[in-house]
Amino acid sequence: FAVEQDLRRGLAAQELRLYLQPQVNRQGHMVSAEALVRWQHPDKGLVPPGTFIGVAEESDLITEVGDWVLAQVCAHLGQLHTQGRRLPIAVNVSPRQFHKADFVPGVLHALEQAGAQPEDLVLEITEGVVIEQVDTVVRKMSQLTQRGVRFSIDDFGTGYSSLAYLKRLPIHELKIDKSFVQDAPHDPSDAALVEAILSVAGHLRLKVVAEGVETQEQADFLNQRANVIHQGYLFGRPAPAAEVLATWSGTR
């Protein structure tokens, strides 16, 4: 319970920080970004989410973290919109957060409150969200996509779900997990998996974001096979949101 209590305190003390990681097109221009939360801890320094998102997910704290991230992202989207600039931002949604009864109205409220365009918000869900209650999941997703919000499947290929669910869900994007991306140029199995994902995405007309692109060789491997958006250290590490947005020219 120590981390949980400390996180509760940290939330109240406004210690969470919004980081963004660029998502770039073939030409290397940032066309969107992923929001990644960090915790600026008074003793431990900058804490990555891997160590506290899991803890938050086990309690209701994930709702508070999720609401905070969503509000921050919507505030940036609203501000960009008033400046006539547009940069879609992807937000990670945990299973517990998605399955809350008021998830849909909560997202719509956050957008309205900030004057953000629903088309600029991408919600990343994992296959874990979809395993249970598929009808409910489809209904909730549709309520948001009807308003313009878009959905992406994160860590695609690492979960347990079947390909059949892809046809039922109103999604617009797949994110290839970094474990496949990183080994694809040298490991024939990973290369085959990446190619299979690109093929499925092509046939279903889904956008593809490749995660964890660290080398030019990995980027080339992908570019030779499809029109893929890249996210990885080769193009930009996660950095404070204000910094990423300030250095972005906004033209593409």
Please report, as ranges, the residues that interact with ligand G according to CB under 6 A. 21, 35-37, 48-50, 53, 66, 69, 92, 94, 154-155, 178, 211-214, 231-233, 238
Q: Tell the smallest beta-carbon distance from residue 135 to ligand G (Å).
A: 23
Give the residue from 211, 225, 213 showing the smallest Cα distance to 173: 211
Cβ distance to Na ion smaller for residue 104 or 218: 218
Q: Tell the smallest beta-carbon distance from residue 19 to ligand G (Å).
A: 7
Position with the least CB separation from ligand G = 232
Write each residue from 136 to 175 as x if it is in contact with Mn ion (CB under 5 A), else as -, in one continuous string: ------------------x---------------------
Burial pattern 84-107, b for ≥16 Cβ within 10 A else e, equals eeebbbbbbbbbbbbeeeebbebb
**Under rule CB under 5 A, residue 127 binds Na ion:** no
Other beta carbons within 10 Å of 71: 15
**Under rule CB under 5 A, residue 126 binds Mn ion:** no
Cβ distance to Mn ion smaller for residue 123 or 198: 123
Give the residue from 119, 185, 183 showing the smallest Cα distance to 157: 183
Write each residue from 65 to 104 as x if it is in contact with Mn ion (CB under 5 A), else as -, in one continuous string: ---------------------------x------------
Give the residue from 244, 238, 245 showing the smallest Cα distance to 83: 245
If you count DSSP H runs as helices and E runs as strands, how many of each does the chain have, helices first? Answer: 12, 10
